[in-house]
């Protein structure tokens, strides 16, 4: 949960950015203290009094790192697969870009001194942080892992359905071919020697005309 010091610092920055008025400053602090929200950025977004962009700018100033809006960003599955889901969720981080030996990571709290050690247990990149909205980071991690779990199942089901749909058609085509072959065989077997001779003569005459 964000303490009063964090809240005071962030609201002061928002005043400097003219995202809120000085009069709103104290009121927001009091309202947050009485709310059920654990995080101040979530509270601000919920109240709708400050835009996400202004919150991100304020967080960037607070943590002295660039900010990134992760909502709707198409993350590289190769990078996410390097980390367990619960690890990313627990630390509110998400990797989003690799540049040679540098891994860019969006974190809700880039000032957490333990993050580098924790991330280093999974990868050996040099880590550079951006700051992002906590809720958005969690939602994007959850969305990726939910998608990665359901997509293969959906693919298999679709393939099975397609195979089942095509089976009767293929079987019907095969049955039709077998039926035609049987009819030809029966027709040939039913011919008398005189009829067969007449058919051969017609075929011979037709070949001469060509």
Query: What is the model's pTM?
Result: 0.68
Q: Which fold has domain 77-141?
A: GMP Synthetase; Chain A, domain 3 (3.30.300)
DSSP code string of the chain: ---HHHHHHHHHHHHHTTSS-HHHHHHHHHHHHHSS-S-HHHHHHHHTSS-HHHHHHHHHHHHTS-B---TT----HHHHTTS-HHHHHHHTEEEEEEETTEEEEEES-TT-TTHHHHHHTT--SEEEEEE--HHHHHHHHHHHHHHHHHHHHHHHHHHHHHHHHHHHHHHHHHHHHHHHHHHHHHHHHH--HHHHHHHHHHHHHHHHH-
- Domain map of the chain by residue range? 4-63, 77-141, 155-207
Model pLDDT, residue 152: 46
More confident residue, 149 or 128: 128
Model pLDDT, residue 174: 52
Model pLDDT, residue 158: 45
Residue 170 has pLDDT above 60, yes or no: no
Pairing type for strands 93-99 and 126-131 reads unpaired
Model pLDDT, residue 194: 63
Model pLDDT, residue 4: 82
User: pLDDT (tens digit, 9 = 90+) per residue, 6-20?
Assistant: 999 999 999 999 999
Residue 117 has pLDDT above 50, yes or no: yes
Residue 192 has pLDDT above 90, yes or no: no
Model pLDDT, residue 160: 44
Model pLDDT, residue 164: 45
Average pLDDT, rounded, for the chain: 80
User: pLDDT (tens digit, 9 = 90+) per residue, 128-144?
Assistant: 999 999 999 999 999 98
Model pLDDT, residue 1: 57
Q: Which range in 96-110, 146-160, 173-187 is most confidently predicted, on average pLDDT? A: 96-110
Section 179-204 average pLDDT: 55
User: pLDDT (tens digit, 9 = 90+) per residue, 7-64?
Assistant: 999 999 999 999 999 988 888 888 898 888 889 998 999 889 899 999 999 999 999 9
Confidence of residue 173 (pLDDT cuts 50, 70, 90): very low
């Amino acid at each position: 949960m964000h303490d009063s010091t964090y809240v005071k610092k962030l609201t002061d920055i928002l005043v400097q950015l003219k995202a809120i008025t000085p009069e709103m400053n104290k009121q927001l602090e009091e309202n947050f203290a009485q709310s059920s929200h654990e995080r101040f950025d979530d509270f601000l977004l919920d109240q709708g009094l400050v835009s996400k962009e202004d919150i991100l700018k304020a967080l960037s100033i607070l943590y002295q790192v660039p900010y990134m809006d992760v909502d709707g960003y198409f993350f590289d599955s190769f990078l996410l697969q390097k980390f367990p889901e619960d690890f990313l969720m627990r630390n509110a981080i998400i990797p989003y870009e690799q540049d040679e030996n540098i891994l860019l990571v969006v974190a809700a709290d880039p000032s957490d001194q333990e993050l580098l050690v924790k991330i280093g247990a999974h990868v050996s990149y040099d880590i550079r942080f951006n700051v992002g909205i906590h809720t958005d980071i969690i939602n994007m991690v959850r969305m990726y892992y939910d998608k990665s779990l359901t997509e293969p199942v959906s693919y298999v089901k679709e393939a099975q359905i397609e195979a089942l749909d095509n089976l009767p058609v293929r079987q019907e085509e095969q049955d039709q071919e077998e039926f035609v072959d049987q009819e030809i065989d029966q027709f040939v077997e039913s011919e008398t020697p005189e009829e067969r001779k007449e058919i051969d003569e017609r075929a011979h005459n037709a070949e001469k005309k060509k």
